[in-house]
């Protein structure tokens, strides 16, 4: 998947998590991967020292691991969520180097 690492993209990802009823907190801590997930409390903690690119990558990396109720998302977020969860090499007949362009 290919998208721009802008504050707008980060804001859109944060909105997706909000609609999925997850709270994102940017905190200081020793996170080996740059983030921590508290499943029972539906909280995602991201290292606050990460740049925008690192924050976006962490949120995209976490997305498959959390329980998102598709019906709770708005129409626009459902479309964007579908684009995010499509694996880059997962579609049959596609070459591995092919990337999809996302609507921002």
pLDDT digits (tens, 9 = 90+) for 4-49: 899 999 999 999 999 999 999 999 877 777 788 887 888 999 999 8
Q: Look at residue 30 in the predicted model and tell me its pLDDT.
A: 78
Q: What is the pTM of this model?
A: 0.74
Q: Where are the domains of the chain?
A: 18-85
**How far is 1 from 20, CA to CA, in rounded Å?**
21
What residues contact 23, with CB distance under 8 A and at least 6 apart? Answer: 17, 41, 42, 43, 44
Closest CA to 35 of 16, 19, 50: 50
pLDDT digits (tens, 9 = 90+) for 16-27: 999 999 999 999
Q: Quickly state the pLDDT bin for 86 (edges 50, 70, 90).
A: low
The pLDDT of residue 38 is 83
């Amino acid at each position: 998947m290919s998208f721009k690492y802008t504050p707008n993209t980060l804001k859109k990802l944060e909105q997706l998590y909000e609609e999925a009823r997850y709270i994102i907190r940017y905190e200081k801590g020793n996170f080996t991967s740059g983030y921590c997930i508290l499943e029972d409390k539906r909280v995602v903690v991201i290292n606050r020292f990460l740049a925008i690119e690192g924050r976006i990558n962490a949120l995209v990396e976490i997305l498959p691991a959390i329980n998102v109720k598709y019906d709770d998302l708005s129409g626009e977020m459902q479309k964007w969520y579908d684009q995010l969860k499509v694996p880059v090499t997962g579609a049959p007949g596609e070459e591995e180097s092919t990337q999809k362009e996302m609507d921002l």
